[in-house]
Amino acid sequence: MIACLLIWIGAPAPGESASASELAVTVDDIDINGEDAILLNLDARNQAILSSLRHSNLKAALFVCGMRVDNPEGKKHLLAWSQAGHLIGNHSYSHLYFPRADVEQFSADVLRGERVIENLPQFRKLFRFPYLKEGATLEQRDRMRSFLESRGYRPGYVTIDTSDWAIDARLRQKLRTHPPVDLEPYKQFYLAHVWERASYYDQLATDVLGRDVKHTLLIHHNLLNALFLDDLLRMFKARGWKLMNAEEAFADPVFSTKPDIVPAGESIIWAIAKETGRFDARLRYPAEDGKYEEPRMNELGL
């Protein structure tokens, strides 16, 4: 099965559009305090991800969870991202699960997160909810939208959500328990997973909006991307996608949309599709989660 996966990744996808889809990279959760130094330490991981972006001449957006970098070492790494020209956005301080937090608590946490990053030259008032969960009730959703707007924030929406974090967790677990590890099957599974989700959201965007959108891909600041981000970006370019800077992508009108759904959140494309009521057969909830990938990883022995 792994051999089939390798062939599939390298082959042209049936029915690919002649027009180029457009993609920006957004990265969540650089983590100093909880650093897992297996295989690569944080310095090497950070350097690898930044190098991959530089090789593709890309400016990404880094969404920062304040508690994970609120120390001199963390701020040094954040400054490296800002000095390289990457946008710095707010991902809260404590990474609270908003549906279980009250609005006052969550609002205070947003402001605390802002204080960690507000002096960085590339800080932008873009806010991304932890877990992409934006409220369980109308009141919770709308009060937080009003609060963020009053503070000058725009949504740091994701169009292409992935479960890269679940693949990364499997890889790190295998490296801890059964070294040495052949990294190639993990790379191929990762590329296949992201391509599948990108294709899904790209088609959904066209069907829902009647046009192409400038996509924002969600990945995490983890070992998986330190190892394979170069491969991921090459895959998109080889399949005809245009890579673009995050600041340009966030100018797409889709990022000003306020879907009227509860629970609120997920990919902005998913949320708009849900609001129409016409695509429910194509929408699972949660939109992305490790539970969808675990059976496939088990089958492959990953």
CATH code of the domain in which 111 resides: 3.20.20.370
Task: Assess if residue 6 is contained within a domain.
Answer: no
Per the structure, the count of domains in the chain is 1
Identify the pLDDT of residue 6. 40
Q: Is the pLDDT of residue 11 over 90?
A: no
Q: Which residues pair with 215 in a beta bridge?
A: 23
Task: Assess if residue 168 is contained within a domain.
Answer: yes
- Strand, coil or helix: 134: strand
Owning domain of residue 100: 22-300
Task: Assess if residue 17 is contained within a domain.
Answer: no
Q: Is the pLDDT of residue 35 over 90?
A: no
Q: Is the pLDDT of residue 45 over 80?
A: yes
Q: Is the pLDDT of residue 236 over 60?
A: yes
Tokens read off for 12: 């042209």
pTM recorded for the entire structure: 0.93
Q: What is the mean pLDDT of residues 86-101?
A: 98
Contact 220, 235 (CB under 8 A): no
Task: Assess if residue 14 is contained within a domain.
Answer: no
pLDDT bucket at 90, cuts 50 / 70 / 90: very high
Task: Assess if residue 10 is contained within a domain.
Answer: no
pLDDT bucket at 249, cuts 50 / 70 / 90: very high
Task: Assess if residue 3 is contained within a domain.
Answer: no
Identify the pLDDT of residue 37. 82
Q: Give the residue with greater pLDDT, 150 vs 34.
A: 150
Tell me which of 40-44, 46-50, 231-235 is least confident.
40-44
Task: Assess if residue 8 is contained within a domain.
Answer: no
Q: Rounded to the nearest 10 degrees, what angle do helices 42-55 and 223-238 cross at?
A: 10
Q: Is the pLDDT of residue 180 over 90?
A: yes
Task: Assess if residue 40 is contained within a domain.
Answer: yes
Residue 39: CA count within 13 A, CB half-sphere: 22
Tell me which of 13-22, 179-188, 254-263, 274-283 is least confident.
13-22
